[in-house]
Amino acid sequence: MALRRRIIMRKTRSFLAFLRDRKEGNFTMMFALLSLPLLAAVAFTVDYNNMLRVRGQLQNATDAATLYAARYYELNKSLPPQSEILDFLMSNSDFGTIVIKDYDYADNQVVLDTKVTYTPYIMSAVVQQDYSLGVHSAAFVSKDTRVEVALVLDNTGSMASSGKIQGLKVAATNFTNTLFDATKATVAVRIGVVPFAQYVNVGMGNRNAAWMDVPADTNSLHWNGCVGSRGSATDKLALTDDTPSVLFPGIMNATCPQPLLPLSSSRTDVLAKVSAMNASGMTYIADGVMWGLRLLTPVAPFTEAVDPATVDAEVHKIMVVMTDGENTRAPNLPNSPDHNGTSQSRADTWTQQACNYASQQGIEIYTVTYGTQVPISAKNLMKRCASNPANFYDAASTSKLDEVFQEIATNLTRLRLTQ
């Protein structure tokens, strides 16, 4: 770079000497007078464009160093040494010595100001002056991100037809792998699974839990893990996740799907639960929604969920509700906690109320209808259940279901990139 400047300066001086020494008359004089402003303009343009180029390169190098420092801070909760940043800057530039003016972390962002001394190529032959070119860069440091997902999945008898339960397993498996594959040091992903039919199964290991009320087995009565609805038609305890002063009733001799899986950071556990799903029973969607919510809130009966108020992190709580049909069963409250009622309108009303309640708790709900026989009424119910219209999907085939689950998973992985 210095050699190039010396060559240009030498040629410029030679040209000026040529004009000074020539005695050929008016033409030479006129040419000289006209050439000097032209040469000055050309020299200024060349130097100005080169100065912009150097400043642009300095900005690019500084931006790259700032992003590197921000990523380093996310992982180590401290800035890399300034000497390391300077080495990074110099390795990404070829235009002279870079000086760091300011380098700090404040207000959740890394700030880096740099400068470089620029010596004009041509104009320095006339004006002996260097210029200081400075740039500023800042990068936000993301808080740790926690993504908690409840997969609320229809395991009713109709899912046994047309390979739908197998298609659901594929879609849920790929969804799970996509999320866990995207996990980084600053992103914690946990997934829970709620297979639902007429009831939800909380697991027989919870028989004696403080929040359960299960009669003793007899020769003719057995508990299989199925839980009914608490409360009454007026107090709606069935539609809250409040700490249960009223216990959850165990329903005797009822059949229900595989036990739910509370939020888990184990990919293996989630995939095993998905693989174990089977299709049997009738449909009560509200029950699935409410137990999905209970997985996502930190109060009893399941306390694995994070309380956003207690952690310095961005917490996103997501529920994905999938069904292949309409409600066919409803609670018998207040007469009985079982779900042997047949009022579809009541079941739909409580499903809508459950979705509304979950949304009020800060849960983002995605809904999916699956198959070619889903009634319009069920699709409309799921549209209203979703947090917004864009969160509702209709998948007519197994391949479409997989595509939909992948789209939702991709949306969730982008949560980290928008902080």
pLDDT of residue 17: 59
Structure-token match 């999907």, residue found: 393
CA distance 183 to 265: 10
Which residue(s) pair with 321 in the sheet? Answer: 152, 367
CA dihedral for 382, 388, 393, 394, sign (positive or negative) = positive
Q: Is 323 left (phi over 0), alpha (psi -120 to 50) or beta?
A: beta
Helix (H) or strand (E) segment spanning residue 360: helix 344-360
- What pLDDT does 2 receive? 56
β-bridge pairing 200-201 and 392-395: unpaired
Strands 109-118, 98-106: pairing is antiparallel
Q: What is the pLDDT of residue 52?
A: 82
12 close to 125: Cβ distance less than 8 angstroms:
yes
Which residues make Cβ contacts (< 8 Å) with residue 347, sequence separation at least 6?
284, 285, 286, 327, 328, 329, 330, 331, 341
pLDDT, position 334: 82
What the chain holds in terms of domains, given with CATH numbers, is 2-140 (no CATH), 144-414 (3.40.50.410)
Cβ 167 vs Cβ 273: under 8 Å: no
**Per residue of the chain (419 residues), what is the pLDDT tens digit?**
555 556 555 655 665 555 555 555 555 555 555 555 655 555 557 766 777 888 888 899 999 999 999 888 877 888 999 999 999 998 877 777 888 999 998 888 899 999 988 877 655 555 667 778 899 999 887 677 889 999 999 999 999 999 999 999 999 999 999 999 987 655 689 999 999 999 999 999 999 999 999 999 999 999 999 999 987 644 455 566 666 678 899 999 999 999 999 999 999 999 999 999 999 999 999 999 999 999 999 988 999 999 988 887 789 999 999 999 999 999 998 888 999 999 999 999 999 999 999 999 999 999 999 999 999 999 999 999 999 999 999 999 999 999 999 999 999 887 543 33
pLDDT tens, position by position, 55-77: 888 899 999 999 999 888 877 88
How big, in percent rounded to 5, are the helix, strand and coil portions of the chain?
Answer: 45, 20, 35
- CB 113, CB 100: distance < 8 Å: yes
Q: What is the pLDDT of residue 21?
A: 57
pTM over 0.75: no
Interval 148-190: pLDDT, tens: 999 999 999 999 999 999 999 999 999 999 999 987 655 689 9
Strand 144-154 with 313-323, pairing: parallel
**Separation between Cα atoms, residue 199 and residue 222, nearest integer Å:** 15
Residue 309, pLDDT score = 87
Cβ-contact 151, 191 below 8 angstroms: yes
In the chain, what's the furthest Cα-to-Cα distance? Answer: 129
